[in-house]
Amino acid sequence: MNITYPAKEADFAELAIDGKPVRFRIPPAIGTHSEVFQALSVDKTLKIARGKEIVAYAHGALVYKKNEWADQKRIRFPTLNYLRFPEVLTIVPMRKEFGDLEGGMLIDSDLEGQIGQGINRQTEVPKDLIGWTETPSKLLVKDKRIFVPFNLWYTDEWNERNGALIGLVGEDGAEMQAKTAKDSGRNYKPLWKVNPKEITSPERRVPGLGGYDDGRLDLVCNDNGYDRDGCGVGVLV
């Protein structure tokens, strides 16, 4: 994954991912999980940033920091808001009744902020993993859903091999996010999470990337989505 930057622009922050120009509308949408993605989804001039695009936005704000990328009032991340991902996570309890899924994490797309509205409702959890396809990184995929086994995501700190991060941004994106943390001097990379051993029924959360404090870059997997401190990014189409 290669990221490059063109000249300064007024209403958007631009970069290129593997040679392809990407223009982010700035400032990003700010609010709860549902507010952010509902607002972005109705703007027909935008598509919602996902995966590598969110990683690239973080790189611009944390590493490049030139031209519009240096203007925190418009970029917002990391000092004013954390970055939201347009996904919803479901953490499965570490209980035998869930079979092969116990302790795992389901990742579902939520581009319109609909699932996040019902964060306290239970997500449908499959009875088994029959028919799911294993990826090279050992995650399982079926019908656009991603399942991350417990031993691939539940760690104290995240790195480029963490399954939750790979499920959100892909393998190349995970490697670039780890490089972004290193290049920006953020060597402490905590993973905020729900402990599957402490819950009795599946629990929904929404993911985010936090960098308020110098020296650390947080992967947040335990946010309930209700606070208004997060921001979501739109890409001009």
- Closest C-alpha among 173, 230, 204 to residue 39: 230
Work out the pLDDT band at 122, boundaries 50, 70, 90: low
Looking at residue 119, its pLDDT comes to: 58
Whole-model pTM?
A: 0.93
Find the mean pLDDT for residues 26-41. Answer: 96
Averaged pLDDT score across all residues of the chain: 94
- Closest C-alpha among 65, 99, 62 to residue 82: 62
Domain segments of the chain as ranges: 3-83, 90-229
Work out the pLDDT band at 126, boundaries 50, 70, 90: very high
| pLDDT, tens digit, 9 for 90 and up, residues 181-235 | 999 999 999 999 999 999 999 999 999 999 999 999 999 999 999 999 999 999 9
| pLDDT, tens digit, 9 for 90 and up, residues 106-116 | 999 999 888 65
Work out the pLDDT band at 8, boundaries 50, 70, 90: low
| pLDDT, tens digit, 9 for 90 and up, residues 52-62 | 999 999 999 99
Looking at residue 9, its pLDDT comes to: 54
Between CA 101 and CA 96 the distance in angstroms is 9
Could you give the angle at the alpha carbon of 186 between the alpha carbons of 73 and 57, nearest 5°? Answer: 45
Work out the pLDDT band at 118, boundaries 50, 70, 90: low
pLDDT at residue 3 tops 90: no
| pLDDT, tens digit, 9 for 90 and up, residues 162-187 | 999 999 999 999 999 999 999 999 99
CA distance to 73, 104, 124, 161, 218, per residue, from 55 (Å): 19, 24, 29, 15, 13
Looking at residue 5, its pLDDT comes to: 82
